[in-house]
Amino acid sequence: MTTLHQPPATLAWHGGPSGYLELIDQTLLPRQCRLIQCRTADDVHEAIRSLRVRGAPAIGIAAAYGLCLAMQHAEDDEERWFAALKRAVAHLASARPTAVNLIWALRRTAAAAQRLRGQVPPTQLGEALLAEARAIEQEDRQTCLAIGQLGAGLLCDGMGVLTHCNTGRLATGGLGTALAIIYCAVQAGKQLHVYATETRPLLQGARLTAWELLHSGISVTLVCDSMAGHLMQQGRVQAVLTGADRIASNGDTANKIGTYALAVLARHHGLPFYVAAPVSTFDLSLSEGTQIPIEERSGREITHPCGVQAAPDGVQTYNPAFDVTPAALITAIVCEHGIIRPVDSQHVALVAGKAPHPRGSTVPLG
């Protein structure tokens, strides 16, 4: 069995209800691994919006702790306290629209306080928020391990595995989603070689995945996004493995821009295309991927990569952060409840929907 090294924790809460959130500022990687402190909900909102913390599960955990920060100085009046809670949920939810874990974690954390309404004074509700946020983080660790162990069997010894964006420890509270499968397969003694795409325009693969895998002692080769088809044609890749930010009830999957192109290439070359995501990433209220909101970000991310101008002034840009891969192109989806294969509405419901899920306990966002 191979022993893997571990980079620092992506995020951690320090103290009790009056504590603070500490996280790795991922915008500085790989040049610098610096921890920053979030002491207000605005700090967390900014960290999510600016991608200091990113990855659907990690965004959800950070938002849950952000709600704890928002309510630290709320008024000691029940009606006003819950009005402030509703505003805080809406504010944090506005940070990024595509990752469903963000809204799910906020609603679940707020619901923990709602269940105690009228039973304890508002001064004690902060403890309930923190307990729920901690539970979400701990469950994510267990979920990542389950995904990794379930999915490891999909990878064979000697495989070349292509991955996109970052889906490891930096994106979650645990081992990761797609990268957890790689970690668990390697720990089980399988020899794998990972090809990580740069993942333009923000280079999460180059800056984060390559850094994380190197720290863990896993063989990794960094390639440009446009090299994926060539790698497949040359027989260097035997499987493609990605994460997800939102999955509709039919299995259509939103993930980092460029994922759809990889799925098309994998189908053309007869390669399996696997998606790894926790059940909290499924949005069973959506029947298909066309209903998933796609975040569009500043064109400056394209024209000024890493802050350096690479395009002429005045050029028009189009910068969607995500695209949607149709379920028909996905070989299997791995979640903590099992492996969904084939990927369709029936099997998504059987696996992802087979256990009660806290999404049912909600607080309105409006």
List, in order of start, the domains of the chain with CATH numbers. Answer: 11-144 (1.20.120.420), 147-356 (3.40.50.10470)
Q: At 256, which helix (H) or strand (E)?
A: strand 253-256
- 3-state DSSP call for residue 118? coil
Comparing CA positions, the residue from 339, 350, 344, 105 lying closest to residue 241 is 339
pLDDT confidence of residue 196: 98
Integer Cα distance of 323 and 275 in angstroms: 14
- 3-state DSSP call for residue 117? coil
User: What parts of the chain have a pLDDT lower than 50?
Assistant: 355-366
| Tokens describing residue 209 | 């995945």
pLDDT confidence of residue 360: 32
**If you search the block for the tokens 């994922």, which residue do you land on?**
259
pLDDT confidence of residue 50: 95
Cα angle for residues 282, 287, 289 (degrees, 5° grid): 70
Q: Is 252 a catalytic residue?
A: no
pLDDT confidence of residue 100: 85
Catalytic residue among 43, 140, 245, 283: 245
pLDDT confidence of residue 136: 97
pLDDT confidence of residue 364: 30
| Tokens describing residue 158 | 């000697």
Which residues on adjacent β-strands are paired with residue 323?
A: 255
Residue-wise pLDDT tens digits, 317-364: 999 999 999 999 999 999 999 999 999 999 999 998 764 443 333 333
Cα angle for residues 209, 43, 81 (degrees, 5° grid): 130
pLDDT confidence of residue 252: 98
H-only helix segments in 121-251: 122-151, 178-187, 204, 210-216, 228-233
Comparing CA positions, the residue from 99, 117, 21, 113 lying closest to residue 60 is 99
Count helices and strands in the chain by DSSP H and E runs = 12, 14
Helix axes 100-114, 122-151, angle to 10 degrees: 140
Print burial letters for 74-109: b (CB count within 10 Å at least 16), e (below 16).
beeeeeebbebbeebbebbbebbbbbbbbbbbbbbb
